Chain A
């Protein structure tokens, strides 16, 4: 869905007046009471052709005014499928929303991009890092979508201290950066795989001084990382990180991080499928 209708500009344009939310889980028993009430009353839940994705449009008082199957069928439609553009227009008509004009929007672009904030704008080190995770363009696998996943990782002072300015090359325990690496799995994998956490992370990371210029001192963090779920027969990730860290002159505190992780997720559910998976890492706020 995220790589389908929710990546179409016309759909996004029609959704701009809405407060958007979602619920994920394994069936009705796990639904929160408010979602369950909407779902069980819905005719969609009784449709024998239903898939597992549903859309409900509510008015500002919380009343359901429209619903449709979430599986996109485009203009061809089909049982248990919907044309999102048609359904959204219907919903907007019921809500008496004005006809959407292309390009008209009062919402700031990327206003909801996941982010972190420091208690004070002058505080160092940063509040944490943001990761953009995705497969390479054209990978063409079911789970290797090029649509970016965005995750944030808050970090405390102790975690940043491990990356303090290195006077000389030093080893960094991979486990100390666990928060950076545990999101290195692709979207759309089976729940049975997603719910299994990675065991302790192995590999070797080095932080090396890399010179200075007029503004900053620089260091490079690099090395190999290996993540493995329970048992060698389960999924895992192997990759290499290279990141550039900056430090203010005269301070050991990290000022910023920008880096990349490039590697492969070996997806082991009903067979074995290697999925290229990369991440861009940036400290926030910058």
Chain B
């Protein structure tokens, strides 16, 4: 058993060293996965439109800025067309 102790100690120390080094590399891995999952600008084009929360707010803006209104009515679901949870 004694003759294996140095080898075991080396492995444990190396393991600690690898674990520490892995921590920073893990943050980079998370960053990469975040970038892969976050939508590209082209996938968020709907947010290039000029949204208002409700018709009253849209009317106020439209009158002030002399612009037309585009109203979508969905009568069978709760949710939010703007956020996408609809």
Contact = CB atoms under 8 A, between A and B. Distances in A.
Chain A bound to chain B: yes
Interface of A: 1-2, 6-7, 9, 12, 15-28, 31-32, 34-35, 38-39, 52-62, 65, 70, 91, 95, 97, 105, 107-114, 132-134, 147-151, 183, 185, 187-188, 190-191, 194-195, 208-211, 213, 218, 220, 242-244, 258-260, 278-282
A185 B39 CA distance: 17
B24 A278 contact: no
B51 interface: yes
Interface of A is mostly: mixed
Given A2-B46, A18-B68, A97-B68, A62 B62 contact: yes
In which size bucket is the chain B interface?
35 or more
Given A22-B71, A28-B75, 4 more contacts: A61-B63, A113-B44, A188-B86, A244-B34
B81 A2 contact: yes
A195 B78 contact: yes
Given A22-B72, A54-B73, A107-B50, A210 B34 contact: no
A102 B69 CA distance: 21
B55 A32 contact: yes
Contacts of A183: 85
28 contacts: A2-B84, A6-B46, A9-B45, A15-B70, A19-B70, A20-B52, A24-B86, A34-B55, A35-B71, A35-B73, A38-B73, A55-B73, A59-B69, A70-B72, A95-B68, A107-B50, A110-B44, A111-B47, A114-B47, A132-B39, A151-B85, A187-B79, A191-B76, A194-B79, A211-B24, A218-B23, A278-B37, A280-B39
